[in-house]
Every structure is written in structure tokens, then in C-alpha cells.
Amino acid sequence: MTFESKIRPIEWAGDHVKLIDQTALPYEYTTVNIKTWQEMAVAIKDMIVRGAPAIGISGAFGVALGAREFLNSKNLDEFLQKLEMMAIYLKATRPTAVNLMWAVDKQVDYAKSLNLSMPEIVEKLEQNAVKMLNEDIEINKKIGEHGAKIVPKGGTILTHCNAGALATAGYGTALGVARSAYAKDPTIRVFADETRPRQQGARLTAWELVNDGIPTTLITDGMCGYFMKKGEIDVVVVGGDRVALNGDTANKIGTYTVALAAKAHNIPFYVAVPHSTIDASIETGDQIPIEERDAREVTHINGKLVCPEEVNIINPAFDVTPGEYITGIITETGIYKPSELKQAINAIPVS
């Protein structure tokens, strides 16, 4: 059973993409029309669209938009070369979430595999991006179904950042687990970490769960240990941006600290991700590139400077939680212990 969300952060409008502007939420609900691949690259970099699966799907649409622009190429070779160049730019917009690389590469490889004319390839790329969009919701619902089993009756889930409808095509990974658990048991509740510096927990997770009527309590990041010690948290469920074969998981900065606190209090800690977030080319999390973002995200809140201008700033957007702190990785095909992940992934045919 699922608890539907009506939020659709990415929509295909036939010749352009409509994105919910996630930088404006929750103050304003607006959409942005993306007509070129360059506009898509900026939307991903500036986090108008964000969350690993959502930027993957957006990247796939970016390739389709670019392909239409390249129809003036002299021949198919030039067309495919331009696609490859564009893919390099798109993938560089956000380096940590592997879904972006996965989706963009999948589109370029698909274009190269088709023995068709350029206009026909453009059409196929658009259809393929729409397919990824629709499939993502189904994948999330499967993650939700598996994950709902680990939420105790009347339990409280703690989550970090936003791994919800806004971060995917429209259901969520970690929040997909919350939605599916809530559909079965409306006495569960969610604690959402605020998630500094960009406040995805406060601005996005709280917004979408409150909209859906799922009981939600917002806490600041530093409060998680306090509530764990008080026995208020039964299980932690977070999303992921890239999972290595040993289960090490990159997710929003602060996730590692939550995992350490959960370990200290014997609270199960789960990561909910689609297979496209698992990077089968890396053995450990040491190989995951960590995006460094603008210092202004730390120094300013709502455009206002909140610290001395001269202070030094470091702003990594993600951290890596070692597999040994993770109880299980919830995917569309089941829940795996980090130590079982490699074998499980190798046993599943690549789609």
C-alpha cells in the first residue's frame, strides 16, 4: 500500500521541461520552464532541481534538449560528438550524486546505439527521459514497500535532508519509506533534521510531509542526539547520493554525524536508494568526489550575513557514512546489509 504524493518536481511539456523551483520553497510555489540544455545545467548547479534521482532524470532531459539543438549538425558523427561534449558539462554540474552520471551516460550510449536519423534519435531520447521519469516513481514505491517493514508500529523515523517526492520523480526514497509506512500505520511520525546550510529538511521535507498530513516534527541538526537519548527515535532512514560496493554512502553533510549518534544509541540506521545510486565502479567511499559549494551558503541566511566577513569557510555538501554504521540499504529489489551489497548487485541484471 502507498500514500500518494501529488508533488511532481519534473514534468515534460512536449518541447521543454517544467521544474518546481526548489530554491523558492516553502515561501513560494513556482515553476521554471527549461528549454535548452544550458538552462538545465544551470538549474541543476543552482539547485532549482536537486536530490540524486531528480538530477539524474533532469540530466536525461538535458541530453534530449541538447540533441534537438544539435539537429543542425553536418552529419551523425558531428551530432554524436556534440552530445558527448554536452554530457561532460552536464555531469560536471554536481559531482557527488552518481545518478546524474548514470542517466546522462545512459542517454548518450542509447543515442550511439540507435541506427536512426538525427530527428528520430531526438524523439527516442525524449521518450527515454520520460520513461526514466515514470519508472522512478515505480522504483520509489517498491523501495517504500520494502522499507515500511523496518518501521515499528507507532514508531518515529528520523530523516536528514530531503529524500522525498521533491528529490525524485514524485514519491521519494527515505520519505517513500515514511509514506508507505504511514499508509499501513497512521500512528507513525517523522522527525526531520533542519539540514544546514541549505535547510532542505526545514524548507522541503517539512513542507512536503505537512502538505501530505504526515505528522512531522522539525528539529535542528544538533538536536538529534538529544532526542535519541530520550528514546524518541526508533529508526533513522536517509537517502543517498552515491553508494560504494562496500556500502559506504555519500549523503547530505551531517548524515555521518546522525549515523554516529544512532550507533551510540543502538538505533537502526537505514539508507534508502534506487540501484542507480549504487556505483558499481567503486569499492569504497574514499573514491567518492565530494562537492564543495559556495561559502555564501554558510555565511548568509536569507541573504543576510550571519558571521564576521573575514572568517574562514569550508562548505562540503556531502559526507560519507561508512558501511559499518549502516544497518541496511533499502532498494527496489530488497534490503541488503552493506556486507552483502556487492554480491547482491552483481547478481542483478543491468537494465
Task: Give the single-character DSSP code of 72.
Answer: G
Site string for ligand MRU, 199-238 (x = CB under 6 A): -x--------------------------------------
Q: Please select the residue that binds ligand MRU; options are 7, 87, 161, 278, rule is CB under 6 A.
A: 161
Does the protein bind ligand MRU through residue 167 (CB under 6 A)? yes
Check if the beta carbon of residue 319 is closer than 8 Å to that of residue 255. yes
Q: Please select the residue that binds ligand MRU; options are 9, 51, 62, 144, rule is CB under 6 A.
A: 51
**What are the DSSP calls for 222-267, one per residue?**
GGHHHHHHTT--SEEEE--SEE-TT--EEEETTHHHHHHHHHHTT-
**What is the closest distance, in whole angstroms, from the C-beta atom of residue 133 to ligand MRU in the complex?**
14
Does the protein bind ligand MRU through residue 168 (CB under 6 A)? yes
**What is the closest distance, in whole angstroms, from the C-beta atom of residue 66 to ligand MRU in the complex?**
22
Which lies closer to ligand MRU via its Cβ, residue 200 or residue 246? 200
Check if the beta carbon of residue 277 is closer than 8 Å to that of residue 53. yes
Check if the beta carbon of residue 273 is closer than 8 Å to that of residue 173. yes
Spatial CB neighbours of 309, under 8 Å, sequence gap ≥ 6: 299
How many Cα atoms occupy the beta-carbon half-sphere of 226 within 13 Å? 7
Which lies closer to ligand MRU via its Cβ, residue 62 or residue 118? 62
**What is the closest distance, in whole angstroms, from the C-beta atom of residue 231 to ligand MRU in the complex?**
25
- Which residues does residue 227 pair with via DSSP β-bridges, in sequence order? none
- Active-site position among 212, 241, 248, 279: 241
Q: Please select the residue that binds ligand MRU; options are 40, 52, 158, 202, rule is CB under 6 A.
A: 52
| 193 catalytic per annotation | no
Residue of minimal Cβ distance to ligand MRU = 239
- Sign of the Cα pseudo-torsion (168, 262, 190, 234, in order): positive
Q: With contacts defined by CB under 6 A, name the span among 119-127, 160-168, 183-191, 256-264 that binds ligand MRU.
A: 160-168
Report how many residues bind ligand MRU under the rule CB under 6 A. Answer: 17
Does the protein bind ligand MRU through residue 97 (CB under 6 A)? yes
Q: Please select the residue that binds ligand MRU; options are 251, 276, 321, 327, rule is CB under 6 A.
A: 251
**What is the closest distance, in whole angstroms, from the C-beta atom of residue 172 to ligand MRU in the complex?**
6
β strands within the chain, DSSP E:
10-12, 17-20, 31-34, 156-159, 189-193, 216-219, 235-238, 242-243, 249-252, 269-272, 300-301, 304-305, 318-321, 328-331, 334-336
Does the protein bind ligand MRU through residue 252 (CB under 6 A)? yes
Q: Give the phi and the psi of residue 12 in degrees, each rounded to 5.
A: -95, 125
Question: Which residues are known catalytic residues?
Answer: 241
Contact residues toward ligand MRU (CB under 6 A) are 50-53, 97, 161, 163, 167-168, 173, 200, 239-241, 251-252, 317
